[in-house]
Amino acid sequence: TQLLEQSPQFLSIQEGENLTVYCNSSSVFSSLQWYRQEPGEGPVLLVTVVTGGEVKKLKRLTFQFGDARKDSSLHITAAQPGDTGLYLCASSYNQGGKLIFGQGTELSVKP
């Protein structure tokens, strides 16, 4: 059974702090996606990483894909209250439209 492990599960920080969320698997990812979900809404895709060692930046968010394609991280610099939400990693493991999601990281950024 393929499993995606995310850590930490919960994170409560002050505005301006930095944070990193991790996503790990025992299997190799074909690709890895990061989503953010706000209360009452569906997840919204932030980024897709495909190549081992890849680094992508989205404003204050930096996404890394491990060289072996078994792990990924999301780093937020100078977090803001608007970053509050549930961050999810997901992968298809080459099973087409079936995405396997991590349990998510609930981030709360206090002003």
Partner 1 sequence: KAGVTQTPRYLIKTRGQQVTLSCSPISGHRSVSWYQQTPGQGLQFLFEYFSETQRNKGNFPGRFSGRQFSNSRSEMNVSTLELGDSALYLCASSLFGGTGANVLTFGAGSRLTVL
**Residues lying near partner 1 in the complex (CB under 8 A):** 30-31, 33, 40-45, 48, 50, 88, 90, 92, 94-104
Whichever of 83 and 105 has its CB closer to partner 1, that residue is 105
Whichever of 58 and 78 has its CB closer to partner 1, that residue is 58
Q: Pairing mode, if any, of strands 32-37 and 105-110?
A: unpaired
Q: Token digits for 66?
A: 């491990």
> Measured from the CB of residue 90, what is the shortest distance to partner 1 in angstroms?
8
